[in-house]
Structure 1
Amino acid sequence: MALFFANGATFATWGIHIPTIRERFGLSDAALSLAMFAVAGGAILVMGRLGRQVARLGSARVSMLSGVLFALATGIILLMPSFAALLGLLVLFGIANAGFDVAMNAQAATVEAAHAHPIMSMLHGMFSLGGMAGAALGGWVLSLGVPPEMHVTAVALLTAATALLTRPLLLPDAIPIDNASTTDGQHRRMLLVLGTLAFLGLLGEGAMYDWSTIYMRDIAGAAAASASAGYAVFSGGMALARFGGDAMRKRLGAPRLLTWSAWLAFVGMLLAVALPRPWSALLGFGLMGVGAANMVPVFLVTAARLPGVAPAEAIANVARFAYVGMLLGPVIIGAVSHASNLRAGLGVIAISMGVIALCGARSIRPAPAEY
């Protein structure tokens, strides 16, 4: 819980300082997009090999090492002397975050395997809570006039301390290192299916981050002061649903939970697109957040339980598709919106949720039946 919370809070710290970076370097929209791409690009760059390295070194050790590196990159992100140096650091930031992410989730799969109840959704809820807390606390600190450099340094120290102090409490990985590369054709196909589903799920989530506020203002007709409520409702629904997701997975089973979640997200986006009014868009975005909340935890748990595959390697394979979906989602929605309109663009999210609802449960049914 501490590691997931720290990861969410640290990533949120980078997010709230994007305007600081833009102002400091006088960046255009294109240059700022390049900086954001560097973070995702760094993660995608190493994801292919990251799983094997985590399996070889152990998720506990990599959680500590990548957590400290992530903290270091965060602490010096505002000290870069040039935009080129900043881009290089952001690639490192993305790599460290990816390592932290994969190692945490592999460790979570190990803990859940030894636990009496599901816990993966709750841990992802802690990430969401950390992101909300990091953004809120960061905004408050900056409003007091605290220098941005001091803020990121404080967050970096807390994250590094969390990574170091939790290391002795983590468990050895459940699957021996010797099994890390024994993936047969069937399991590779299963990973490809899970990755495709994760791509579709994160395509919608990534698009919501960038387009929900614009939709509320330009299409739904919300006042400028309340336009950001769409993203807030989406994020709040996601956080709340994750804390209830483990109980639902134990009660319903992973396939049924995934189906119900995807249909809920589908209905939410369909409502927001079909009735472009502030109230209907808010309700739709809230349903989308609740529906999307437990998709990634289900995909990761299913991947981690594939026999003969190290959890870290399986998680990294699925996470690579998820990162690409998160990265391309806003771009795809923007392209469709340019060719048609934003309602059609967000309709793509509804279609992706419908595909998961129709195909997802059948795809993850080989997972162990306990929960």
Structure 2
Amino acid sequence: MQRHVQSCANAPRYAPRLATMALFFVAGATYATWGIHIPTLRDRFALSPAWLSVAMFAVALGAIVAMQPVGKLIARLGSDKVVGVSAWCFAATTALLMLMPSFWLTLLVLIGFGVANAAYDVAMNAQAATVEAGGDKPIMSTLHGLFSVGGMVGASVGGVIISLGVPPWLHFVGMGVLIAITGVLARPRLIADPASAAAGGQQKHAHAGRLLWVIGFLAFLGLVAEGAMYDWTAIYLRDVAKSVTLASFGYATFSGGMAIGRFSGDALRARMGMLKLLSTSGIVGVAGIVLALAWPNPWAALFGFLLMGLGCANLVPIFFVAASRLPDMHAGEAIAAVARLAYVGMLLGPVLIGFVAQHAGLRLALGLVAVSIAWIAIDGSRVLKRALQPA
């Protein structure tokens, strides 16, 4: 009887955690659904590579533009309320993606999809920070791991759906319905954010804003490296390590390291602390990329990419948690600012690597990844320690 009463008492405590897990999983599955249907969009409108790039950039543009106002909205209304509203917007734009009769209307929907995705993403991360702050153990890394699992499930199920000949519009409408149902079920179980301490004065808020830029720059470096690894590992294995057969395993190995790192990250952060985990992650990441670059053997490179995945896995979760704990700033607004800079890094990383590779070779270009992660390993802990101390 006593055990039953205790489990009932614990149920409300775990409800926000489970609801937030569902939000992250569905977000990953939705983004994967869009990813696997990019060729569908190309074929539907007979797009050239340049115009297809415009379509993909429309999503990124919507997300980048939306993040700052979304952060302010979360600070005013709370992440729980913004999750509820943004879930409906995300569902609607997802459902409409393959229903537009022209490419120009599709571009408008893609921008809206990017805006809604950004609002949903920032709000669920702010809610995650609130849930973690009210619990007894870290959860942020696991949630980001569930986003990755959602992506893998979404891509796998989507591949089956495509092979069965299901119309793309029906696939996207189904995803929209799933987003809406998840939002409706999760919203009552989310918790209100703690009151913002921003009333501490303009000078304190400015101090927090400066620290936020520094954390955002570290997140930018981390996502430059992550974006470069996602886009260039296969080419490195094929062109530098001279292995066509193993080229496709570069992405998989790096992603596997990311998954392992994220699902173990919360336990490691609870044991080691945020600062030590950040430094250790940076060291592991640097060791991985240096191994791959110094010894361009395909198996050595794959092991290096695995280490890079382990090293990169917890960078963004740590930066989001650190931003959410900045004094005199609302967690949602802080996470939005960091996410915006991180997203720019994810977009610019592959392009920057390609530009340098064109003029100096891919090995030297990927050396920029080593520099980015080394900067985080050397300077990250000092910056976060300063950020989390009261002004």
Residue 205 of structure 1 pairs with residue 245 of structure 2: no
Amino acid at match of 1:365: K
Q: CA deviation at 1:181?
A: 8.8
Structure 1 match to 2:214: 193
**Partners of 1:40 and 1:94 within 8 A in 2:** yes
Amino acid at match of 1:209: Y
Structure 2 match to 1:317: 337
> Cα deviation per residue 1:147-177 (whole Å; 9 max; x = unaligned)?
2222222122111110111000000011248
Q: CA deviation at 1:213?
A: 1.9
Q: Which residue of 228, 233, 237 maps to 1:216?
A: 237
> Cα deviation per residue 1:199-232 (whole Å; 9 max; x = unaligned)?
00001111222222222222222225x4221111
Go from structure 1 to structure 2 and tell me whether the alpha carbon gap of 1:180 and 1:326 turns closer, same or farther (over 3 Å shift).
farther
1:71-82 aligned within 5 A: 71-82=91-102
Go from structure 1 to structure 2 and tell me whether the alpha carbon gap of 1:113 and 1:144 turns closer, same or farther (over 3 Å shift).
same
Go from structure 1 to structure 2 and tell me whether the alpha carbon gap of 1:180 and 1:138 turns closer, same or farther (over 3 Å shift).
farther
Residue 59 of structure 1 pairs with residue 79 of structure 2: yes
Structure 2 match to 1:260: 280
Residue 101 of structure 1 pairs with residue 121 of structure 2: yes
**Partners of 1:3 and 1:163 within 8 A in 2:** yes
Q: CA deviation at 1:73?
A: 1.3
**Partners of 2:197 and 2:327 within 8 A in 1:** no
Structure 2 match to 1:28: 48
Secondary structure of 1:223's aligned partner: coil
Go from structure 1 to structure 2 and tell me whether the alpha carbon gap of 1:179 and 1:246 turns closer, same or farther (over 3 Å shift).
farther
Residue 184 of structure 1 pairs with residue 196 of structure 2: no
Residue 146 of structure 1 pairs with residue 166 of structure 2: yes
Q: CA deviation at 1:284?
A: 1.2
Go from structure 1 to structure 2 and tell me whether the alpha carbon gap of 1:49 and 1:71 turns closer, same or farther (over 3 Å shift).
same
Residue 45 of structure 1 pairs with residue 65 of structure 2: yes
Amino acid at match of 1:184: H
Partners in 2 of 1:140 and 1:41 — Cα distance? Answer: 30
| Residues 125-134 or 169-178, more deviating | 169-178
Structure 2 match to 1:158: 178
**Partners of 1:180 and 1:313 within 8 A in 2:** no
Q: CA deviation at 1:191?
A: 0.1
**Partners of 2:222 and 2:342 within 8 A in 1:** yes
User: How many residue pairs align between the two structures?
Assistant: 368
**Partners of 1:37 and 1:327 within 8 A in 2:** no
Residue 272 of structure 1 pairs with residue 289 of structure 2: no
Question: Could you state the TM-score of these two structures normalised by the residue count of structure 2?
Answer: 0.90
Secondary structure of 1:80's aligned partner: coil
| Residues 56-65 or 162-171, more deviating | 56-65
Question: Could you state the TM-score of these two structures normalised by the residue count of structure 1?
Answer: 0.95
Structure 1 match to 2:18: none
**Partners of 1:180 and 1:310 within 8 A in 2:** no
Larger radius of gyration: 2
**Partners of 2:196 and 2:329 within 8 A in 1:** no
Amino acid at match of 1:93: F
Q: CA deviation at 1:180?
A: 10
Where in structure 2 are there 5+ consecutive unaligned residues?
Answer: 1-20
Amino acid at match of 1:84: W
Residue 237 of structure 1 pairs with residue 264 of structure 2: no
Q: CA deviation at 1:70?
A: 1.3
Percent sequence identity over matched residues?
A: 55
Q: CA RMSD in A?
A: 1.7
Secondary structure of 1:184's aligned partner: helix
**Partners of 1:16 and 1:138 within 8 A in 2:** yes
Partners in 1 of 2:103 and 2:178 — Cα distance? Answer: 27
